[in-house]
């Protein structure tokens, strides 16, 4: 009994007709799959999603670079704000005169140190 079942299975699975059936079934599956993906636009959806992912990654990199630049400029602005707060409320002409006085005093000190 076992031998007859074994013979039936071996003749069924290893026959030329069975292999031809498997190959034809596989080709039909591939054709139906391609038609369905074309009909439902799955291939197009996948390509659009890949494009969106690529654009998103590019934008993330750009935003990261901008944030790093903003951190650097915030530190510089913080120093500039401290300096500008020193001169708040003082008229511009007085700040100019103070700058001139400091410049003249620096020149005098340099000439005195040379002599």
Domain region containing 17: 2-86
Domain assignment of residue 64, yes or no: yes
Domain assignment of residue 47, yes or no: yes
Domain assignment of residue 93, yes or no: no
pTM for the structure as a whole: 0.38
Domain assignment of residue 91, yes or no: no
Q: Is 91 helix (H, G, I), strand (E, B) or coil?
A: coil
Domain assignment of residue 18, yes or no: yes
Q: How far apart are CA 79 and CA 5, in angstroms?
A: 91
Give how many domains the chain has, as a whole number: 1
For each of the chain's 115 residues, which pLDDT tens digit applies?
556 666 666 666 666 777 788 889 999 999 898 888 888 888 788 889 999 999 999 999 999 888 888 777 666 666 666 666 666 777 777 878 888 998 999 988 888 887 6
Domain assignment of residue 31, yes or no: yes
Domain assignment of residue 20, yes or no: yes
Please identify which residue in the block is written with the tokens 């799959």: 33
């Amino acid at each position: 009994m076992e031998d007859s079942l074994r013979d039936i299975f071996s003749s069924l699975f290893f026959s030329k007709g069975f292999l031809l059936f498997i190959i034809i079934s596989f080709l039909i599956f591939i054709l139906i799959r391609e038609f369905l993906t074309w009909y439902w636009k799955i291939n197009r959806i996948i390509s659009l999603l890949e494009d969106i992912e690529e654009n998103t990654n590019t934008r993330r990199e750009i935003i990261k670079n901008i944030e790093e630049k903003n951190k650097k400029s915030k530190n510089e602005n913080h120093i500039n704000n401290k300096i500008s707060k020193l001169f708040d409320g003082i008229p511009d002409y007085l700040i100019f005169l103070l700058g001139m006085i400091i410049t003249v005093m620096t020149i005098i000190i340099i000439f005195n140190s040379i002599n």
